[in-house]
Amino acid sequence: MSLVLPPTRENMTRAADRLRGGGLVAFATETVYGLGANALDPQAVAGIFELKGRPLFDPLIVHVAGIEPARQLSRAWSELAEKLAKKFWPGPLTLVLPRQEIVPDLVTAGLPNVALRWPSHPVAQQLLTMAGCPIAAPSANRFASISPTSAADVAMELRDPDLWILDGGSCQHGLESTVISLVNERPVVLRLGSVAVEELEAELGPIAVANRSVNESELQSGLASPGHLSRHYSPRTPLCWSTEFGSGEEVHAGERVGLLCFGSVEIPNAHQFAAIENLSPHGDPREAATRLYAALRQLDHAKLDRIVAWPLPSVGLGRAINDRLQRASH
Ligand code: AMP
Ligand code: MG
């Protein structure tokens, strides 16, 4: 089992040393747990891809300790970048910008751009400050699996006896960061996440959201932007997601089916389900985001034949959650 460390000063110092020395450290952020390596050390970064089983064409987000360190990694820090960073950092927004040469190819998957984020979680912030280097960190799960929102989830996912995990409790948002590209004249949301599109639009006016479902071959051929794999965030149990609320829930005799739902809904055939997880009985999308991955894990461990997931109202965070459920479906 991995080593789960409470974030004492001594443990933070040891973890920062380990990172600087080229090792991997998993740590809490306000979105999900990250698997970190020194972003400027390609060999260390290679360890992330290896442990996650992540394909090399999927670039990593680089975490920084403030706006100034972010500026140093970008060749063209724009006025727009400054505006968004001032408004949303530290926090769950990732900015994609032209990269400086010092950012290794492995981190950006050979792209001329780098994804940057200043996280707000105190454990992430202290680690960044103490390590004194930018930290490349994707979610600390096996590729395409469910993102971890607690130290125990990370240990279960990665099962590496050499891995250190800095325990910062359960994640406040529970959903990945929103990724916005500022590379072209018009900003584009590349990934829906913890900052709702509406919050960005309040700052920028109407913005485009990139075409979302691509497959691995399109990515490898370079025809699509990375990180939009149609299969992602998946439990092992088949998940059926339908765009229509309340549909697809027919349960056959002898079948063990779990239901993932939201809000104060009437479930007419509730007794037919072997397990029901309501992401937020009061209908609060923030609470739903926080509970999403834990609920998926719970259902995944309930020895079910399949999971049926009902969509949330497609506004604000509901839209980002629906995006995850759609990708989690088989
Ligand atoms: P994660 O799996 O949470 O580490 O998120 C990584 C995601 O961030 C990728 O899958 C992309 O969607 C996005 N990303 C990271 N780096 C870049 C980049 N250089 N250009 C475009 N998107 C990026
Ligand atoms: Mg991930």
Which of 31, 57, 96 most suits a substitution to test ligand 1, by most atoms within 8 Å of the C-beta? 96
Residue 33 located in a structural domain: yes
Please state, in angstroms and rounded to a whole number, the distance separating the CA atoms of residues 304 and 21: 43
The single-letter code of the amino acid at 181 is: S
Q: How confident is the model at residue 223 (pLDDT cuts 50, 70, 90)?
A: very low
Per-residue pLDDT tens for 272-316?
A: 999 999 999 999 999 999 999 999 999 999 999 999 999 999 999
Residue 29 located in a structural domain: yes
Q: Say what the pLDDT of residue 241 is.
A: 85
Q: Say what the pLDDT of residue 121 is.
A: 98
CB count within 10 Å of CB 139 equals 26
Q: How confident is the model at residue 217 (pLDDT cuts 50, 70, 90)?
A: low
Eight-class DSSP state of 72: H
**Mean pLDDT throughout 4-29?**
98
Ligand nearest to the CA of 138: 1
Are 269 and 157 in the same domain?
A: no
Which ligand 1 atom sits nearest the alpha carbon of residue 114?
19
Distance, C-alpha 252 to centroid of its chain: 34
Whichever domain contains 120, its CATH number is: 3.90.870.10
Number of independent structural domains in the chain: 2
3-state SS, residue 126: helix
Per-residue pLDDT tens for 229-252?
A: 667 788 999 999 876 655 556 788
Residue 213 located in a structural domain: no
Which ligand 1 atom sits nearest the alpha carbon of residue 225?
21
Could you list which residues have their CB under 5 Å from ion ligand 2? 139
> How do beta strands 135-136 and 61-63 pair?
antiparallel
Residue 207 located in a structural domain: no
Taking the CA atoms of the chain, what radius of gyration do you get in angstroms?
Answer: 19
Are 17 and 144 in the same domain?
A: yes
Ligand nearest to the CA of 61: 1
Residue 228 has pLDDT above 90, yes or no: no
Q: Which of 6, 8, 115, 21 is nearest to 63 (CA)?
A: 115
What distance separates the 2 farthest-apart alpha carbons in the chain?
A: 61
Domain span at 66: 3-77+99-176
Are 161 and 249 in the same domain?
A: no
C-alpha 219 – ligand 1 centre gap (Å):
13
Q: Which of 176, 198, 224 is the last residue before a domain boundary?
A: 176
Which of 179, 181, 229 most suits a substitution to test ligand 1, by most atoms within 8 Å of the C-beta? 179
Residue 212 located in a structural domain: no
Q: Say what the pLDDT of residue 246 is.
A: 59
Phi, psi angles (nearest 5°) of residue 327: -75, -25
Are 165 and 257 in the same domain?
A: no
Are 154 and 254 in the same domain?
A: no
Look up residue 47 and give its two tokens: 């360890």
3-state SS, residue 48: helix
Report the nearest-CA residue for atom 6 of ligand 1: 60
| Better pLDDT: 247 or 108 | 108
End-to-end CA distance of the chain: 30
Residue 190 has pLDDT above 70, yes or no: yes
List ligand 1's pocket residues with C-beta within 6 A. Answer: 58-61, 96, 108, 111, 113-115, 138-139, 176, 179, 190-191, 225-227
Are 257 and 162 in the same domain?
A: no
3-state SS, residue 219: helix
